[in-house]
């Protein structure tokens, strides 16, 4: 795919024309090699000369629904999931408000290379034209903590429901042009894999997959009291918050002790001995952790993966306290968030 080499020898106008012709071939092949669920979600594809990009679209009229666009620039190839239709935006922001923890998980899970932009556009009441007002968020998803995600999605939902505002949603990633050029025809498979990373968040936001009923909203604590160490927080059957004190053995062997009161939260049936969980810490999702049932008193113990054990040793000392927040997400998954005590969550 020699799109980018054109910028070096042909002049801007000729280079853009050549790049777009190559991109059109690229998107046609990309659609052909994409998994069936992607083809079904995005049955339309093509070239937009006006916007100088190619797209995979859920609607024949690009912009009426969700679409994925590709922009070729001198230094990069940008992949962008775009939602600009008011009705679709209202739907996705309502869904984000219903299950905020799962929404945050799915948006940030693709990795820190991805950038989220939630843009506030002002709508002219007479002409319907839109102009940029401000960005509610425009950074790497690595900087989007759960509290910020909840606040941004809530504000977006409120503003987008007002006729004076439109709040487009963009999730994208840029790839270095030299690396893309070096991939040759393999670029279509690479981009197909990147699109697959977006499908879980897309399915969630557009409500295309069955999920559990919405969880009751819970108050996020701004501080953790030492008195909580020995008691489970009565938030709901779907969530609890607990503060554990780290002992020397915890740091040496890589685990965090909970209490016997916590085990029923993880238990599937009376024979359950362990439960796989996902642990979220400092923008990283670790799926190699588990919760063990310890006999004879059924104490629950969070056993950490080697990378997470290393993080614990580097950031904590004996008698430090760590906040453990466990949530049940869709598909019977449990996510545990670890945070040092004293770190504010608004």
**What pLDDT digit, counting tens, does each position of 118-149 carry?**
999 999 988 889 999 999 999 999 999 989 99
Q: Which two tokens stand for residue 242?
A: 């607990």
Residue 9 belongs to domain spanning: 4-206
- Distance from C-alpha of 81 to C-alpha of 231, rounded to nearest angstrom: 43
Nearest alpha-carbon partner for 106 in 201, 203, 206? 201
Contact assessment for residue 306 and residue 326, using Cβ atoms and an 8 Å cutoff: no
Using DSSP's 3-state secondary structure scheme, residue 328 falls into strand
Domain identity same for 183 and 253: no
**Which of 177, 206, 235 is the endpoint of a domain?**
206
Mean pLDDT score of the chain, rounded to an integer?
85
Mean pLDDT on 21-28: 89
Q: What is the DSSP code (8-state) at residue 51?
A: T
Locate 258 and state its tokens: 């909970």
Give the C-alpha separation, 191 to 196, whole Å: 9
Look at strands 76-83 and 67-72 and give their pairing: antiparallel
Q: Is the pLDDT of residue 90 over 90?
A: yes
Say if pTM beats, i.e. exceeds, 0.85: no
Instruction: List CB contacts of 189: < 8 A, sequence separation 6 or more.
Output: 33
DSSP tally for the chain: helices H, then strands E: 10, 15
Report percent pLDDT > 90 for the chain.
Answer: 60
First to last CA, the chain: 47
User: Which two tokens mark 220?
Assistant: 């996020």
User: Do residue 244 and residue 196 come from a single domain?
Assistant: no
If asked whether residues 142 and 290 sit together in one domain, one would say: no
Per the structure block, which two tokens stand in for 207? Answer: 């409500």
* Residue 211, domain member (yes or no): no
Question: Are 48 and 194 part of one and the same domain?
Answer: yes
- Please tell me which residue, 262 or 234, carries the higher pLDDT value: 262
Per DSSP, 226 falls in state: G
Domain containing residue 269: CATH number: 2.40.330.30
Please say if the pLDDT value at position 57 is more than 80. yes
Give the model's confidence band at 18: pLDDT under 50 very low, under 70 low, under 90 confident, else very high.
Answer: confident
Q: Check whether residue 170 and residue 238 sit in a common domain.
A: no
Q: What's the sign of the alpha-carbon dihedral 171, 176, 180, 183?
A: negative
φ, ψ of residue 172 to 5 degrees: the values are: -145, 170
295 and 254, same structural domain? yes
Tally of domains in the chain: 2
pLDDT bracket for residue 170 (50, 70, 90): very high
Q: What is the pLDDT of residue 76?
A: 87
CATH number of domain containing 156: 3.30.930.20
With 0-12 CB in 10 A as exposed, 13-18 as middle and 19+ as buried, what is 220? Answer: middle
pLDDT of residue 230 exceeding 50: no
Measured CA to CA, the distance from residue 57 to residue 69 in angstroms comes to 8
Roughly what angle, to the nearest 10 degrees, separates helices 146-160 and 86-98?
Answer: 140
* Residue 190 belongs to a domain: yes
346 belongs to a structural domain: no
73-82, 231-240, 273-282 — which is least confidently predicted? Answer: 231-240
Is 214 inside a domain boundary?
Answer: no
Beta-carbon neighbour count of residue 280 at 10 Å?
22
If asked whether residues 194 and 280 sit together in one domain, one would say no
């Amino acid at each position: 795919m020699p799109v980018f080499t054109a910028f070096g020898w042909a002049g801007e106008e000729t280079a853009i024309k050549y790049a777009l012709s190559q991109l059109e071939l690229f998107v046609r092949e990309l659609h052909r090699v994409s998994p069936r669920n992607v083809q079904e979600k995005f049955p339309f594809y093509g070239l937009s000369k006006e916007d100088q990009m190619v797209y995979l679209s859920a609607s024949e009229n690009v912009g009426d629904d969700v679409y994925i666009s590709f922009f070729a620039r001198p230094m990069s190839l940008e992949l962008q999931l775009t939602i600009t239709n008011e009705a679709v935006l209202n739907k996705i922001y309502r869904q984000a408000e219903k299950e905020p923890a799962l929404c945050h998980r799915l948006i940030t899970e693709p990795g820190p290379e991805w950038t989220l932009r939630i843009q506030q556009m002002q709508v002219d009441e007479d002409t319907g034209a839109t102009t940029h007002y401000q960005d509610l968020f425009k950074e790497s998803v690595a900087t989007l903590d759960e509290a910020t995600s909840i606040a941004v999605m809530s504000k977006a939902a409120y503003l987008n429901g007002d006729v004076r505002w439109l709040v487009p949603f963009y999730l994208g990633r840029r790839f270095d042009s030299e690396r893309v050029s070096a991939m040759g025809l393999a670029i279509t498979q690479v981009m197909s894999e990147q699109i697959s990373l977006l499908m879980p968040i897309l399915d969630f936001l557009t409500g295309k997959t069955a999920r559990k009923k919405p969880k009751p909203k819970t108050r996020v604590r701004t501080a953790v009291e030492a008195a909580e160490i020995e008691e489970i927080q009565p938030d709901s059957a779907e969530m609890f918050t607990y503060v554990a004190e780290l002992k020397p053995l915890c740091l040496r062997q890589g685990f965090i002790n909970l209490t016997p009161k916590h085990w029923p939260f993880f238990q599937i049936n009376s024979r359950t001995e362990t439960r796989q969980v996902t642990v979220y810490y400092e923008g990283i999702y670790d799926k190699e952790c588990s919760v063990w049932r310890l006999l004879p008193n059924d104490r629950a113990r969070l056993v950490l993966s080697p990378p997470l054990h290393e993080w614990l040793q580097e950031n904590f000392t004996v008698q430090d306290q760590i906040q453990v927040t466990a949530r049940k997400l869709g598909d019977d998954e449990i996510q545990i968030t670890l945070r040092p005590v004293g770190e504010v969550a608004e």
